[in-house]
Structure 1
């Protein structure tokens, strides 16, 4: 069996959608017709979820490095906290933490910690926010 030939045929017939969509029968699907709807036995494997997470961490880290060059010079625990925050609220949402970023620019980690906790994010998820923000002040 020629896997490459099948791959190309499936790509041509299925088409690729890079977000969840409902197939012709109303079931959630992604990519090249990959059923993910649990009502029909779909989903992803743990290995696939882990691969996606690794890819997403790399992607978020690259976005933060590009948008905020100071990110690259921050202590590792601070970088990790910022990646976690971006996962929760998106990179665009994290960019709105102007006071926190200003504090990070001048290595005022206590100020960054306080600015992060003075937010809707901290009000909405206080336990997670406290845990993540505490690593902003290594």
Structure 2
């Protein structure tokens, strides 16, 4: 039986060897066996990810969107919480670049014209791609 310190050192050695043998890939790729893989040999097709890993990724993605929005939209930090939630949801869904393309919506939000902002959300290709999500977020914008 290994002590916690011995176990940590043992795992570090094995992990170092696995990184050499498997490589570290930050984007999905096909391994030599043709399986969709990511990270250090994580076979996504057979093993997927755990619920905890999915929530960890989600939290990181939401945090990244929040930081991007705070830097890119001068009035973002002063918005009411529910309006920030809408922008975070949209940023997560389409990315910051596409969200910043909603110039009329953002202009309306800058002056607290929530109905106008909701109208501009609906007047987009995005609203037809994610109908239920768009409806729900537009309603939240109006409220």
Aligned to 1:32: 40
Aligned to 1:96: 101
Contact persistence 1:78–1:137 (CA under 8 A):
no
- Please point out which of 43, 47, 54 is paired with 1:49: 54
Shift of 1:63: 1.0
Shift of 1:73: 1.0
Q: Which runs of 5+ in 2 are unaligned?
A: 1-6
Contact persistence 1:103–1:111 (CA under 8 A):
yes
Aligned residues: 135
Q: TM-score scaled by structure 2?
A: 0.88
The answer to whether the aligner puts 1:17 opposite 2:4 as a matched pair is: no
> Over alpha carbons, which structure has the higher Rg?
2
Q: TM-score scaled by structure 1?
A: 0.91
Q: Distance in 2 between matches of 1:61 and 1:136?
A: 18
Aligned to 1:109: 114
Q: Secondary structure at the match of 2:112?
A: coil
Q: Distance in 1 between matches of 2:75 and 2:19?
A: 41
The answer to whether the aligner puts 1:125 opposite 2:112 as a matched pair is: no
Shift of 1:35: 0.7
